[in-house]
Structure 1
Amino acid sequence: MSRQTAPRNTSLLRSSPCLSPLGVAINRALLGAVLALPVASLVQVQPAWAQSVVAQHDFAIAAGSLESALNSFAATTGVSVSYSPETVRGLQSPGVQGQLSADEALQRLLSGSGLQVTRQASGNYSLLPAPEAGSTLQLDAITITGAGLGEITEDTGSYTTGSTSTATGLPLSIRETPQSVSVITSQRMKDQNLTQLTDVVRQTPGLTLSQSGGNGGDSSGIYSRGFRVENYQIDGLQLLDSNYGSPAQSNDMVLYDRVEVIRGATGLTNGVGTPGATLNMIRKRPTAGFRSSVTVTGGSWDYRRTEADVSGSLTESGNVRGRLVGAYQENNSYVDRLGERKEVFYGVVEADLSADTLLTFGMDSQSDDYDGHARSGLPLFNNDGTRSDHDESDSAAAKWAYSNRSAVSAFAILEHNLTERWKAKLSLNNRRSEYDELSGYAGGNNGEAGADPASIVFYANRWKAKPVQNSFDLNLAGSFDLFGLEHDAIVGYSRQKTDYNTPAYTWWRDPVTGDFPVIDNIYTWNGKVPTKPDLQAYGRIDYEEEQGAAYGSTRLRLSEDLSLILGARFIDWENTIKNEYYDGTPNDGSRRSETGVVTPFAGLVYDLNDIWSVYGSYTSIFKPQSNKTLTGAYIDPLEGFGYEVGSKAAFFDERLNVGVALYQIEQDNLAVSLGDGQLAPDGSQAYRAESGTKTRGFEVEVTGEVAIDWQLSASFSRNIVQDADGNKLNTNIAQNTVKLFTTYVLRSIGNGLTIGGGINWQSEIYSDGVGPARNQRFTQDDYAVVDVMARYPITEQLSATLNLNNLLDEEYYTSSSSSYFGEPRNASLGLRMEF
């Protein structure tokens, strides 16, 4: 079914012959200021049809995807091009350079595509598939249409996307989704060299990385709206391992087209989950036209990274397409003794089994090995209660400590168009992970009477397992007519199961005294003592978690301007843990299950006009918890409700999205940490359950193309978590954050210089109950980190990108629970060659 897209308003963005460069700059600045005002009545965008298709235009459109080329064509000419997204999917364009008319440029852009166009009476274009042999197609010269963004962000140059389904399962635009949505696109990741999931998190509106130790460990948590994020998805399939989900943070971004982030509870698409956020990583797909690239990057602390990407058709007809992606990285760190090695591989094939059936299958492999990896930072206080004095480079890790993680996934997706409006989709995924972590770190104050103020307690333990997860999802999605209006719906069933067994190790203690080892003076410690322990397992733990769910959601158009989104997920969940002891102690374990849990969702969206809408949504919260009390008992499942109201706007054919949201979350059994050093019997952090908690906050976000060649992402988030008596909770997470990053292409400089910069600011954080007597408060004041970048295309194929991070060399702690610093000033330089 063809989708006609509204013409993009370019008349406000392009320079007039009567305006000087200063005038153009002032116009653009004024436009940006107006767009930042969240008042619908102040923003009036009129359609622009003024450009003539016979006029000469200065084209500088590089070879790449046809969709991206058409978008650039529409931006250059001001002429609209309309087409069905399926028509151009996977097609490539040779690009076009020089002074040409719109007709001439369009012909060159479509060269080899097999597509034809017609010009409408208005001067705009319509893009059509080539006619079959023997048929005729009436053409009025040439026609082409500029369309809005689709789901795929690669080659669009955009900081936003045209469609997302992570929140409801329905393919909706950001404006149509009644929840807070942020997308980190392919272009954004390239601009800022965001190669790891934690890099993406630092730049995502509303997300905070609270890092008390090495990357991806259980003391490195991602937070949203005051709660730890535990919901991770890949291509919409949930990663199910609530026992130890932190390794998901090690995902490398070279595999993914984008990361979709839904803030708030997502019980409709996840079932079990916290009300913080869901991070959905969407894999890259093959392209029909041949393309390949190699990127080599070097930077501070011996950072070396190489990426390779090749894609194209595997048959002459183009009905089978493939893609291979690989990356290798080595680096040291600003932290002493810490080093990393990373290997990534991804292969995927798409096959058109028929005109209505698409089969996609592939596999990806990632390994991430750290030497000198610390589970925690150094203590913030000396044993006498005075503040410790550590440098940014000081490490809590022993020289022999390590963390090795890997994951191999095999997946298959079968999609079949049952009719023009309904499609069935089957997704299968097998993920085999492995982690082996030998943790040795100086992390605790020495409570011995008369102990040297600089002495530190040393901890060592080991975690090792090979989790296997099998996932299955079958759904039916489409649209239907009722009462003269078109509505959307999806129904499906999904199942995930994760199981593994792991040796159970005890914390390393002195075999004579039974005490933890002690480092005499942390300020002269070199990480070599104590020597590597030979830890022996005392037993084995068998772990199994399984979740099955039937789900459905629908968007009912109550009128042309009012949509009601309803949905629910019906969940069966089970978690079984069996403990086997080698010394003859009777085996024990636990089994927890929840049957018939319903997580409903309701949302209402009302379009005020063609640009602005208002919305409200409600969803429930249900999350079995792996957090334990001091006695080792599991905390009851987290339960509650989330409410959100707001306003959204989409400008310039949805290339610029604006959102304002207010929310409240009410829940019981919230797991609240008892503080550093308060441990459950198995050595994990101990928690208490807090009921009657409330979280309130609001968020403002502007993301996308403010003007031609100007991309922007700007946000402000405020969040307050309180218990039933109004006392603050989770004070170790910033209440207020501001995140800004923007790029602009200076076409007048050489081949076109892209410059960019941004700032991340957060308010103060603090933790009580720290220090040797557990009676002190540590505060990290508010701080800001400034990043800048520049990219220059040396030739049509070769470009160079320079990134400078923490330009002002701000010194700050990444949490308020240990002495672990953020990265000081650093730089990277990358060269990208496209073939």
Structure 2
Amino acid sequence: MLHRLPGHGLARKPIVRALQAALLAMPVGVAVLPAVAMAQGTAASARQYAIEAGPLDKTLTRFGREAGILIAVDPTLTQGLQSTGLQGSYTVEAGLSALLAGHRLEAVHGASGGYRLRRTETASGVAAADDAGAGSGEGGVMLAPVTVSAAGLRDGVTDGTGSYTSDYSSTATRLGLSPRETPQSISIITSQQMQDQGLTQLADVVKQTPGLTISQSGNLGSDSSPIYSRGFAVENYQIDGVPQLNSNYNSLFQSADMAIYDHVEVVRGATGLMNGLGSPAATINLVRKKPTPGFQASASVEGGSWDYRRAEADVSTPFNKSGTVRGRFVAAYQENNSYIERLHERREIFYGVVEADLTPRTLATVGFSWQSFDLTGHARSGLPLFFADGGTTSWARSKSAGADWAYSYRANQTFFGSLEHRFTNGWKIKGTLSHDRNTFDEVLGYAGGGYPNRATGAGVNLWASRWMGKPEQTSLDLYATGPFQLFGRTHELVVGTTLARTVFDAPTFGAWSFDGWNSSVPNIYTWDGRTPAAPYNPQQGNYDFFEQTVSAYATARLRPTDSLSVLLGTRITSWKNDTTQSYLDGSASENSNRAERGKITPYVGIVYDISKNFSAYASYTSIFKPQSNRDVSGAFLDPLVGNGYEAGTKASFFDGALNASAAVYLVKQDNLAVAIPGMLAPDGSQAYYGASGAKTKGFEVEMSGQLATNWQASAGFSRNVSSDRDGKPLNTTVPEDTFKLFTTYRIAAIGNGLTVGGGLRWQSRIYAENQGPQRVRFTQGSYTIVDLMARYPITRKVAVTLNLYNLFDKTYYTSTGSAFYGAPRSFRLGVTASY
């Protein structure tokens, strides 16, 4: 008999039942009222400004950026207003007064150091116009203030901006740079885009991110759906910029729910400067939601195809009158069946974070999050692609390979805290401590073996096993950043250190074949997932895992001229990994002890501003990954080293509201393990040597942000060609070409403002050699998936959203290893409300 972990399965703890009841009973009617991020900024001294005339919100944006302050701009106050600009020397207060003169608006200095706009007088005509045009923002819901800030003070919050882009990212270098200032390809999936497309899971986000693909061979609750970028599997994940260390099972991060995150930053290519070790594919950085200065609350309920139902609640509030202590709390519950028979999914999410301004320049943050992901009827792959006679199968998309008794359970519990202080000279120091407790328990049972007889359905067998563990990671990240003077010019520097440690002691079980157990499925055509029953699979031993990294890094952004930036960085990493496999039957234990000390990861980038809107850049960076292969002497091979070379051009328009880029790149892997024919290592394993190996070359074009008033879009084309050391194609199961597009437009003239949107995802063919009983090539041709959405505000606070996925009901395989199909046409209908 299989036993699940406490809290797993149908049994519910009282707190879980209470949370579920509260979410499902919450009053309907709420659209998200986005957050406002306020930060400190003061300026008593005057400085020179040359801000051209234009829309008032744009000139305020420009002024805030140059003055180094935060201004919360409410579009309902500035809509349609023009500014004559600002020319000359002004203090912050004088500059704001000049910009707002004649508009019956004033800027109020808040307790947190930022500014917000308010009316200086009330006029019935104005108020009536505001109500009539409340319109305004995305979804017809009146927009909350939008954060405007200066580089170095910004935190990249996208909630409330209504934008498909951001002008801030620190994932690549830790420096707070805009996408245009970053000499690597970067994509930011914002809060607005996630809302518009209904991207509730990380896998959904990845599918919409330029340059990323998922080779999905089975349900997401396993290790059979790797994410790829530039021809290599993505292994680097961060949360709020802090690397997540777990070389043994990093697919845990792929099932993350997006309810607690503000946005996702993806840096493609090698990212060793901020990670130390991993693959040269990409880094995915999940950025958590933050408390807002004022009270806001939102909730939503959603239903859809295959009994999909989801409820979310998001509350942010100050705890005192001054707003110096504030918190945010998010809860979500989701339950659904699937287009695949027997597959059932349940998610539970809770998140809480509290910020406190200990002083006007010191910010303390503490938080907690919990996520669980529970699948029953789970399969690690689809059914066989071929019949025993060599012909290709053609299953219904609903036909499952999962046994009735197979399941996958994952949970993550995180405690985190940070302390940040800003000095009067522009420097900032920040330390973050986090502790993660992960749980995974997966019982495998899937009909992926053998080839069925076309006439009788016999010939298919189950693969069965179990793996489980409770890895815990503790990490400390400490850094300081700020300006410095050299040769009469101002430059930027960041120095930091990261310590991370992961441990777990996991039971081990048998795999694939078991004494006295017949794995055969009598007739795959009529199989209901119940027979054969689960094999008797008791614990066979223990697997002890320990991994630790200690690293220090530094990055300098030198400004030789106003137009030229040179980024120089390095990271020094020491890594240690100890594992022990022990057996309950008394067999000798197997030990592995590996370490790398003082590995240096360089970073070089150049950015040249060609004009006000365009810049050119080039960069070189690397990353390394320890290997378990041995040479003829028995020593482990040197780490696999990924080197990335990239050059391109970037553009920014409308004060950063629209960003675009084009890049060419080359990624090379050195010390690739190559088997030495006929040679064995002293332990009897295959001997290898390290050689200059795989490489990927290609180009990417991307655009995201506001094309015009009420028009947002995100689009990207990527081409990458991978080959091994002999020039033969590599990773042909990953498409060489992908194109992704999604756009929305708000039609203000229809009722309270109707937002409509749509998009498509296209990818080129994928194929695999030596498939089936006749060892042939199997190919999934190129295909296009089309999605649509619409959102209509019933009132200023209540909106209805409809999403249609795979509009033309395209049938396609998501990988070339088994008959696992993409989802058919489906819909989701939701109601949101806000206060």
**What is the match of residue 663 of structure 1?**
665
CA spacing shift, 1:547–1:415, aligned 2, 3 Å:
same
**What is the match of residue 561 of structure 1?**
563
**What is the match of residue 341 of structure 2?**
336
Matched, 1:119 2:98: yes
Match of 1:619 among 598, 617, 621: 621
Is this contact kept in 2: 1:445–1:772, CA < 8 A?
A: no
**What is the match of residue 502 of structure 1?**
506
- Structure-to-structure mapping, 1:169-184, within 5 angstroms: 169-184=174-189
**What is the match of residue 798 of structure 2?**
798
**What is the match of residue 646 of structure 1?**
648
Q: What SS does structure 1 have at the residue aligned with 2:215?
A: strand
**Distance in 1, Cα, partners of 2:119 & 2:394:** 77
Match of 1:492 among 491, 496, 505: 496
**What is the match of residue 220 of structure 1?**
225
Q: What SS does structure 2 have at the residue aligned with 1:118?
A: helix
**What is the match of residue 411 of structure 1?**
416
**Distance in 1, Cα, partners of 2:119 & 2:388:** 84
**Distance in 2, Cα, partners of 1:744 & 1:634:** 56
**What is the match of residue 787 of structure 1?**
787
Deviations 1:585-642 (A, max 9, x none): 111221111111011000000000111000000012201247999xx99876321311
User: What's the offset of the Cα at 1:418?
Assistant: 2.9
Is this contact kept in 2: 1:346–1:363, CA < 8 A?
A: yes
**Distance in 2, Cα, partners of 1:801 & 1:115:** 44
**What is the match of residue 198 of structure 2?**
193
Which stretch shifts more, 344-353 or 660-669?
A: 660-669
Match of 2:607 among 605, 608, 611: 605
Match of 1:354 among 338, 359, 362: 359
**Distance in 2, Cα, partners of 1:786 & 1:489:** 45
Residues paired across the two proteins, number: 735
CA spacing shift, 1:289–1:232, aligned 2, 3 Å:
same
Percent identical residues: 49
CA spacing shift, 1:670–1:751, aligned 2, 3 Å:
farther
Is this contact kept in 2: 1:82–1:126, CA < 8 A?
A: no
Is this contact kept in 1: 2:514–2:535, CA < 8 A?
A: no
Instruction: Name the amino acid aligned to 1:481.
Output: Q
**Distance in 2, Cα, partners of 1:335 & 1:634:** 43
Q: What SS does structure 2 have at the residue aligned with 1:190?
A: helix
CA spacing shift, 1:117–1:563, aligned 2, 3 Å:
closer
**What is the match of residue 820 of structure 1?**
820
- Structure-to-structure mapping, 1:379-390, within 5 angstroms: 379-390=384-395
Deviations 1:675-722 (A, max 9, x none): xxxxxxxxxxx9998742221000000110011110011111000001
User: What's the offset of the Cα at 1:580?
Assistant: 1.1
CA spacing shift, 1:610–1:146, aligned 2, 3 Å:
farther
Is this contact kept in 1: 2:105–2:120, CA < 8 A?
A: no
**What is the match of residue 725 of structure 2?**
724
**What is the match of residue 734 of structure 1?**
735
Is this contact kept in 1: 2:789–2:802, CA < 8 A?
A: yes
**Distance in 2, Cα, partners of 1:687 & 1:197:** 36
User: What's the offset of the Cα at 1:128?
Assistant: 5.6
Is this contact kept in 2: 1:288–1:321, CA < 8 A?
A: yes
Is this contact kept in 1: 2:637–2:690, CA < 8 A?
A: yes
Q: What SS does structure 2 have at the residue aligned with 1:273?
A: coil
User: What's the offset of the Cα at 1:553?
Assistant: 0.3
Is this contact kept in 2: 1:92–1:289, CA < 8 A?
A: no
**Distance in 1, Cα, partners of 2:80 & 2:666:** 55
**What is the match of residue 48 of structure 1?**
none
Instruction: Name the amino acid aligned to 1:469.
Output: Q
User: What's the offset of the Cα at 1:256?
Assistant: 0.4
User: What's the offset of the Cα at 1:100?
Assistant: 8.6
Matched, 1:468 2:472: yes
**What is the match of residue 393 of structure 1?**
398
Is this contact kept in 1: 2:300–2:313, CA < 8 A?
A: yes
Higher relative contact order (CA 8 A, sep 6+): 2
CA spacing shift, 1:91–1:413, aligned 2, 3 Å:
farther
**What is the match of residue 244 of structure 1?**
249
Deviations 1:636-668 (A, max 9, x none): 632131100000000000110010000001113
- Structure-to-structure mapping, 1:511-590, within 5 angstroms: 511-512=515-516, 517-590=519-592
Is this contact kept in 1: 2:146–2:160, CA < 8 A?
A: no
**Distance in 1, Cα, partners of 2:104 & 2:487:** 33
Q: What SS does structure 2 have at the residue aligned with 1:524?
A: coil
Is this contact kept in 2: 1:267–1:620, CA < 8 A?
A: yes
Matched, 1:290 2:290: no
TM-score relative to the length of structure 1: 0.83
Q: What SS does structure 1 have at the residue aligned with 2:207?
A: helix
Is this contact kept in 1: 2:464–2:512, CA < 8 A?
A: yes
- Structure-to-structure mapping, 1:691-706, within 5 angstroms: 691-706=692-707
Is this contact kept in 1: 2:482–2:492, CA < 8 A?
A: yes
**What is the match of residue 708 of structure 2?**
707
Instruction: Name the amino acid aligned to 1:702.
Output: M
**Distance in 2, Cα, partners of 1:307 & 1:798:** 15
CA spacing shift, 1:634–1:828, aligned 2, 3 Å:
farther
Is this contact kept in 2: 1:668–1:691, CA < 8 A?
A: yes
Is this contact kept in 2: 1:703–1:713, CA < 8 A?
A: yes
CA spacing shift, 1:688–1:538, aligned 2, 3 Å:
farther
Match of 1:482 among 470, 486, 491: 486
Instruction: Name the amino acid aligned to 1:492.
Output: G
**What is the match of residue 211 of structure 2?**
206
CA spacing shift, 1:125–1:562, aligned 2, 3 Å:
farther
Deviations 1:341-370 (A, max 9, x none): 000000000000011110011100000000
**Distance in 1, Cα, partners of 2:609 & 2:555:** 20
Is this contact kept in 2: 1:242–1:625, CA < 8 A?
A: no
**What is the match of residue 811 of structure 2?**
811
| Long gaps (5+) in structure 1 | 1-60, 104-113, 133-138, 674-685
Instruction: Name the amino acid aligned to 1:727.
Output: K
TM-score relative to the length of structure 2: 0.83
Is this contact kept in 2: 1:74–1:80, CA < 8 A?
A: no
CA spacing shift, 1:145–1:336, aligned 2, 3 Å:
closer
User: What's the offset of the Cα at 1:793?
Assistant: 0.8
Matched, 1:281 2:283: no
**Distance in 2, Cα, partners of 1:313 & 1:350:** 9
CA spacing shift, 1:375–1:140, aligned 2, 3 Å:
closer
Is this contact kept in 2: 1:380–1:771, CA < 8 A?
A: yes
User: What's the offset of the Cα at 1:383?
Assistant: 2.2
Is this contact kept in 1: 2:36–2:292, CA < 8 A?
A: no
Is this contact kept in 1: 2:55–2:81, CA < 8 A?
A: no
**Distance in 2, Cα, partners of 1:76 & 1:748:** 23
| Long gaps (5+) in structure 2 | 1-30, 39-52, 84-92, 112-117, 122-144, 676-686
**What is the match of residue 164 of structure 1?**
169
Q: What SS does structure 1 have at the residue aligned with 2:181?
A: coil
Is this contact kept in 2: 1:87–1:128, CA < 8 A?
A: no
**Distance in 2, Cα, partners of 1:737 & 1:575:** 37
User: What's the offset of the Cα at 1:130?
Assistant: 3.5
Instruction: Name the amino acid aligned to 1:215.
Output: L
Is this contact kept in 1: 2:720–2:737, CA < 8 A?
A: yes
CA spacing shift, 1:573–1:116, aligned 2, 3 Å:
same
Instruction: Name the amino acid aligned to 2:488.
Output: G
CA spacing shift, 1:451–1:802, aligned 2, 3 Å:
closer
Is this contact kept in 1: 2:56–2:78, CA < 8 A?
A: no
**Distance in 2, Cα, partners of 1:811 & 1:370:** 24
Deviations 1:482-516 (A, max 9, x none): 2232111100110110000111111153424xx86
Is this contact kept in 2: 1:66–1:88, CA < 8 A?
A: no
Is this contact kept in 1: 2:32–2:298, CA < 8 A?
A: no
**What is the match of residue 450 of structure 2?**
445
After the TM superposition, list the runs of 4 or more consecutive aligned residues in structure 1 that deviate by more than 6 angstroms: 85-88, 97-103, 121-127, 139-142, 450-453, 626-629, 632-635, 686-690
Matched, 1:301 2:299: no
**Distance in 2, Cα, partners of 1:721 & 1:706:** 34
CA spacing shift, 1:75–1:738, aligned 2, 3 Å:
farther
